[in-house]
Structure 1
Amino acid sequence: MKRRIIMSLLAGATLVASTPLGAGPAQSAEFQGRSTEARTQPADVPAEFGTDWHDPVTAAPPIKKPSGRSCQVTLAEAQFRDFTPYRGTYTPPAGCGDRWSKVVLRLDGKVAGRQYDRLGYVHVGGVEILRTSTPEPSPDGIKWSVEKDVTRYSDTFRHAQDVEMLIGNVVDDTYTGVLDVKVTLTFYAGRPATTPDKVITLGEDNTLTTPRNSERILAEVYATGSGGGCEEFWYLSVPDSAPYSCQADGGPYREVQIKVDGQLAGIAAPFPTVWTGGWSNPFLWYVVPGPRAFDVKPIEYDLTPYAGLLNDGRPHRVEVSVVGVPEGQSGWSTPVNVLVWQDAKRAHVTGKVTTHEVGDLANSSTYTPGSPHRVDTEGGHRLTVAGYLDTSHGRVTTTVRRTLANTSTHHWTDGENVDGLDATWTDDESVTVDGRGPARTTHTQRTYTMNGSTTVGDDARLRTVLTLGDRASVTESRGGRRTAWSRLDDTYTGDATYTTVVPRDQRHAVGTTSERYRLYGSEGCYDRSLTTVQGVLTEERDRC
């Protein structure tokens, strides 16, 4: 049985352009300590999955919301049956001013019947403020919610804007699930948060024109491999010489690059997101989704070294590409927002790029035939860019260093009845700002891991065992002395089995899943874990 037959991903859900369940993830400075507490659910665990299960949940921390006055605006309310976008109008809230301490987006959804997982986005004034995917429903129906801190887009929210939302869907005699969603923004009055002065989208031909007094420029790219085809599970692709259902000349190494006027300005490792039909086994994800599945986080690139160039008042070309995608093949969506901080005391901030060092791109995939077949991959890249700006508070030099690495071993048997992967990605970045006063450095070490296998037995029973890891370490220092730090470890594990090629009510599916989300550092500690069995939430545990 070929994987292309049994793989259930985002079939047909191509994005035109584009966070976890229940409460959304908090920023590193927004978590609070909790006492150790375990709660075992009293509900009986069935012998196998039935026609209903627990609504989707996540172990991620809730967003910390300010007390006091708040105002809510509905952005969108729609039922998605096809690929027709919802279009509406946003009007800023009355009664909470135009400078907010926090802005929180909330998506509430419900769906029943049978449906694939689907990708979606929300745009306000052309700015992408949410990229998300959906759970797969039970016949009896489920509800889920997503929250996201969108305070950084405050500049966009201060003006009336067009709204566009799409969760591309197919509804027919087989796939009956209509996606019924509502999206709101809640604005919290109080001491205004520090946010970018401008939020800009790229113009025609991917051009960017920044204010001439920009002193910090950050690009964010909501990069997702999606829309049907092999790029949804790019990490499993193999060289053309290997007998596997997903082939790519360069194998599975992927790198998201951003260029300014043709010059490489940023590199990043994409997160290996697994959607809720992934690894051929939706029973893994019915209650607990994989990391980031419902809150697709953008890749961030600090383009401040290029500010002197971009501040000349002319349009500059900004392009995003993905290394490793076969030429002419679709499957990646890479919308770009540009966040700009301005120098209020200068009409024009000048400067130049002083350093641009690009290491050789390493990308080697070695195929070893046999039983099982095997592909070993090693990839990586380095980039250093530095530039200065002459601001109202003196000359400021920004240096960005980024190093990527990927190793993976992929093994499979003839017919792909056994298919496994053990992979690690690292993305190590440091940004140093040197001007008046001691130099300030933010060092971020990101590590993504995927270890699992899918096996189809002679009895057509398909079993998937999988562990996913999303880890990050952030250290801030000033003058060489650490001033703040945080560590994140979001780990998902699952083991689920069902009978393939039979009607839904004959699958006799069983499965155990768990997630542990740990976030700790100079701001405190958060540690929460969830366990489910056959779709029943059996344990919640809070530590710290």
Structure 2
Amino acid sequence: MAVSCIHIVFLLCLVPATVASPRTRRLRKSPTDIAATSPPPSDPSRPTTFFEVDRPLRPPPGSSGPCSTLLLSASFAFTFTKPPATAAYSPPACLAAAGGGASAISLAVLEWRATCQGVQYDRIFGVWLGNAELFRGSTAEPTDNGIVWSVSKDVTKYAALLAAGNSTLAVFVENLVNDDLTGVYYANVTLHLYFHGGGSPATRPPPAVGPADLIVPMSRGLPLNDGLWYKIQNASDVQSTSATLPSNTYRAVLEVFVSFHGDDEFWYTHTPADGDANGPFREVTVRVDGDLAGAAWPFPVIFTGGINPLLWRPITGIGSFNLPTYDVELTPLLGKLLDGKPHAFGLAVTNAMDVWYVDANLHLWLDSNSTSTAAGLVSYVAPELVTNTTSSRTTASRTISATGWVSSSYGNITTNATQAFAFENDNAGDNTINQTTVANAGVSATDLAAGVLYYSVQTTQRFPLRFDSEANGVTVTHGVEETTVAAGQWSSVGPRYRSLRTTQRSVVEGGGSSWGIGQTYRYEASDGCYFRNVTSSGYNIVSDQSSEVCEKGVPAGDGR
């Protein structure tokens, strides 16, 4: 029996059919079935508001704004095999008034606000500026009375793009409308800008730790009749983009966008016991000229129609409205990239089944005081991936380490980048899945001769997931645990300490007659804190407590 997928159109004739999986677990329910069997909202005359729990975005103290600009307003009905919606982009006039350059921006927020009514699946969408992806999300599944939701994403890291000049904004929502699927998505995309010091131009941030000077898109680009992402269809598929780096580059980071659909939407449920040789482990690998440069082990995002849509109404799954991205430090490899020649930046997915959507942005920091930098590789260690699989348990681990030097006007700086991953998945075939992914990443930049640490950033992530299914119910518990610690002379931009702990438990009982969601969210950092504890029963919020007061021991601005 084939696996149901996030986009039912894959089973139609608009695109090639996906390869059927030998698995027998069905983790998708038809929106029509859900509408017929689930209780209606408490007030059917009003649309239901869906939301993903996240912290509010606050500009730095002393900022002016916001300056808000509607970038695009569009409807998305039958969009398969159609071009993205586009709009001409030029930097808002308020940016010129604030100094005109990227350094004037203290906070940039991209807001997505959408509505839909009728019967429809959740759909993946993306927003690109100048072919560089800024935002990827999933829509909510609508109801007959209609739904509304909004997402605000911090896009300050793209300040160079926002200030660069005339460009094209593209938005693609993969949607299908017919006699059965009637939901049309209506969306507004708005940019909110805040500026340093009441509108006066800011001093340039320390090198390498502020937003990049140049962002090179690693996508398919316009024009096309689809999203700008690449599609990975199997484990041997590698999608790559060629780019020539400016000769005065002194830092490079690849930001990777990832989402999984079709036969691999629920990749963490695959087991050899079900006849699936691919198993439950997935990783996205980054390759430079064919050589492994880094990896991303993805957070298992569950879209709003996944497993049972009632699990995510009205509090949607972690990361579903604003999918996470993954950074891979490439600075140690600049010795091979600064030769004035094009180089291939490739993306692949270990054990992939059809289909993964991937693209990337190459963030580059340029030495404005020089026309060229010099660089060299000191060491590179990347042992083979280690995996172990039995009929009910899969484990995996990988380490990658690279060290290289760059000589620029800032000095001769040696950068060390490390990644260490661990993964375990237990699936005994009793409708219970336990999975944990751990990812550790570290970057340090040092002037070895002077004994000066310019910056160091160490991040630890843990993604627990538990899935329990019974004849008349299902429970999903998942979360994110992330800690980042920064240090060094240049680490004055952003918090030097940041911790996020969020856990969500969603339950559907009685075959869909009742459901409830509970989520705790705790963010603690040296620049502020945020706590929220929210629970729902059916469509109703039964308790919601939040606070931005830091607890003793983690005061705002403590400088850690």
Q: What's the secondary structure of 1:314's corresponding residue?
A: coil
TM-score by length of 2: 0.80
- Is 137-146 or 77-86 further displaced after alignment? 77-86
Q: What's the secondary structure of 2:361's corresponding residue?
A: strand
Give the residue type in structure 1 aligned to 2:524: Y
CA RMSD of aligned residues (A): 2.5
2:77 to 53, 78, 81: 81
Structure 1 residues 70 and 534: CA distance shift in structure 2, 3 A: closer
Unaligned 5+ runs, structure 2 = 16-36, 221-239, 550-560
1:476 to 472, 486, 495: 486
1:165 to 167, 171, 196: 171
Aligned to 1:526: 530
Aligned to 1:49: 39
1:101 to 94, 103, 106: 106
Q: What's the secondary structure of 2:332's corresponding residue?
A: helix
Indicate if the aligned counterparts of 1:132 and 1:293 stay in contact, CA closer than 8 A. yes
Unaligned 5+ runs, structure 1 = 17-46, 368-374, 414-418, 500-507
Q: Deviations 1:47-84 (Å, cap 9, x if unpaired)?
A: 97314574112331111146534433222211111223
Aligned to 2:552: none
Distance 1:8 1:534 in 2: 25
Distance 1:12 1:510 in 2: 30
Aligned to 2:396: 379
Q: What's the secondary structure of 2:91's corresponding residue?
A: coil
Q: What's the secondary structure of 2:482's corresponding residue?
A: strand
Q: Deviations 1:141-170 (Å, cap 9, x if unpaired)?
A: 011001111111122122111121111111
Aligned to 1:355: 379
Structure 1 residues 485 and 409: CA distance shift in structure 2, 3 A: same
Indicate if the aligned counterparts of 1:13 and 1:119 stay in contact, CA closer than 8 A. no
Q: Is 1:243 aligned to residue 274 of structure 2? A: yes
Indicate if the aligned counterparts of 1:58 and 1:515 stay in contact, CA closer than 8 A. no
Task: State the Cα distance separating 1:101 from its structure 2 match.
Answer: 2.1
Q: Is 1:541 aligned to residue 548 of structure 2? A: no
Q: What's the secondary structure of 1:336's corresponding residue?
A: strand
Task: State the Cα distance separating 1:437 from its structure 2 match.
Answer: 5.2
Structure 1 residues 54 and 141: CA distance shift in structure 2, 3 A: closer
Give the residue type in structure 2 aligned to 1:110: T
Give the residue type in structure 2 aligned to 1:360: E
Indicate if the aligned counterparts of 2:248 and 2:373 stay in contact, CA closer than 8 A. yes
Structure 1 residues 71 and 478: CA distance shift in structure 2, 3 A: closer
Aligned to 1:60: 54
1:252 to 269, 274, 280: 280
Q: How many residues matched?
A: 474
Structure 1 residues 13 and 196: CA distance shift in structure 2, 3 A: farther
Distance 1:473 1:86 in 2: 38
Aligned to 1:434: 446
Aligned to 2:318: 291
Q: Deviations 1:415-465 (Å, cap 9, x if unpaired)?
A: xxxx22100000011111112553232111010010121222xxxx3x111
Q: What's the secondary structure of 1:528's corresponding residue?
A: strand
1:105-124 counterparts in 2 under 5 A?
Answer: 105-124=110-129
Give the residue type in structure 1 aligned to 2:365: W
1:12 to 6, 9, 12: 9
Q: Deviations 1:10-31 (Å, cap 9, x if unpaired)?
A: 4337999xxxxxxxxxxxxxxx
Distance 1:169 1:335 in 2: 20
Structure 1 residues 444 and 160: CA distance shift in structure 2, 3 A: same
Task: State the Cα distance separating 1:533 from its structure 2 match.
Answer: 0.1
1:231 to 256, 264, 268: 264
Q: What's the secondary structure of 1:9's corresponding residue?
A: coil
Q: Deviations 1:402-423 (Å, cap 9, x if unpaired)?
A: 111101111335xxxxx22100
Q: What's the secondary structure of 2:498's corresponding residue?
A: strand
Aligned to 2:192: 186
1:285-324 counterparts in 2 under 5 A?
Answer: 285-324=312-351
Query: Does 1 or 2 have the higher relative contact order (CA < 8 Å, sep 6+)?
Result: 1
Distance 1:289 1:514 in 2: 11
Indicate if the aligned counterparts of 1:76 and 1:184 stay in contact, CA closer than 8 A. yes
Give the residue type in structure 2 aligned to 1:202: M
